[in-house]
Amino acid sequence: MGRGYNQHCTLAYALDQIGERWTLLIVRELLAGPRRYTDLAQGLVTVPSNILASRLRDMEALGLVARKRLPAPAENVTVYELTEEGAALSDAVTALSRWGMRSLPPTTDGRAFRAHWLIPVMEARFDPEAAASVSESYQLQIDDEEFVHFTVHDGHGEALPGPAPEPAVAVSADAETLVALANGAITIPEATSRGATIQGAPDAIQRMLEILPPPTRTSKATARRDAVRR
């Protein structure tokens, strides 16, 4: 990209730093915890290796990520992790995810899907008011493999990778069903009829649905892409 917008504007300044392709997706990956180079490449699915290396260099120079050598047991593997400045992008990532939720289709249609990509999605759906005086966790499992969970603690909530210690609700489903569920396209009964497993007390499930409500969607039928010509 050409260098810089050269505008004294907080938005333009932010975009000068994280507006390049792949940068915010790298942040998304690292919001699920420190990752190795190859883990990042895998989570980003189609990123060219030279681009990934270049972005990590830039982000390190900007103070958004830090390299770290793992301690004793693991051999000399390097991991990347977000600095405080980089982690502060969480809110922006959440806001963009919330906007993307409005029109993301309810089916994957051959696109890649990873469980930890739901972390910003859950953060975006979180309703603090519904979570007042609630303290419990909700766990999601995809294809009997990866876990993510959301922990509520009295008005505050946080999405985290991995299984929950003591989930009040545990949902397990294949990717396609979980995507439709996260999208609000199907209800919990429909999900179970598709083979999903939902464990937990009915009132806990009810609380989960109120604390992580489905997105307000827009009818994308009105967007006519045939107007593009280039």
Partner DNA sequence: CCGCATCCGATGTGATACTG
Partner DNA sequence: CAGTATCACATCGGATGCGG
Of 129 and 166, nearer to a second copy (C-beta) is 129
Binding-residue pattern over the window 12 to 51 for DNA, x denoting contact by CB under 7 A: --------xxx-------------xxxx------xxxxxx
Residue with tokens 């397990």: 172
Q: How far is the CB of 124 from DNA (least distance, A)?
A: 24
The DSSP symbol for 222 reads G
Nearer to a second copy, 121 or 181 (CB): 121
β-pairing, 65-69 vs 78-82, is antiparallel
Longest dimension (CA), the chain: 58
CA–CA dist 190, 173 (Å, integer): 12
The option from a second copy, DNA, none interacting with 37 (CB < 5 to 8 A, set by class) reads: DNA
> Which part of the chain contacts DNA (CB under 7 A), choosing from 1-9, 93-101, 115-123, 201-209?
1-9
Q: What is the Rg, in whole angstroms, of the alpha carbon atoms belonging to the chain?
A: 19
Which residue bears the tokens 């993510």? Answer: 148
Q: Which pair of structure tokens corresponds to residue 214?
A: 């489905």
Choosing among a second copy, DNA, none, which partner's interface includes residue 45 (Cβ < 5 to 8 Å by kind)? Answer: a second copy
Cβ-based nearer residue to DNA, 25 or 188: 25
Compute the distance between CA of residue 129 and CA of residue 74 in angstroms, rounded to an integer: 43
Q: Does 3 bind DNA (CB under 7 A)?
A: yes
50 makes contact, choosing from DNA, a second copy, none, with CB < 5 to 8 Å by partner type, with DNA
Q: Which residues of this chain interact with a second copy, rule CB under 8 A?
A: 1-2, 5-15, 17, 19, 21, 24-25, 28, 45-46, 54, 57-58, 60-63, 84-85, 88-89, 91-104, 108-109, 111-114, 117, 120-121, 124, 179, 218, 220, 222-225, 227-230
- Are the C-beta atoms of 100 and 220 separated by less than 8 Å? no
Whats the size of the chain, residue-wise?
A: 230
Q: How open is the CA angle 14-120-42, to the nearest 5 degrees?
A: 90
Residue pair 155/126 in contact by the 8 Å Cβ criterion: no
Binding partner at 78 among DNA, a second copy, none, C-beta below 5 to 8 Å by kind: DNA
Instruction: Give the closest residue to 191 by CA, choosing from 181, 201, 204.
Output: 181
Name which position in 77, 88, 95, 112 contacts DNA (CB under 7 A).
77
- Assess 11 for contact with DNA (CB under 7 A): no
Site for DNA, rule CB under 7 A: 1-3, 20-22, 36-39, 46-51, 53-54, 56-57, 67, 77-79
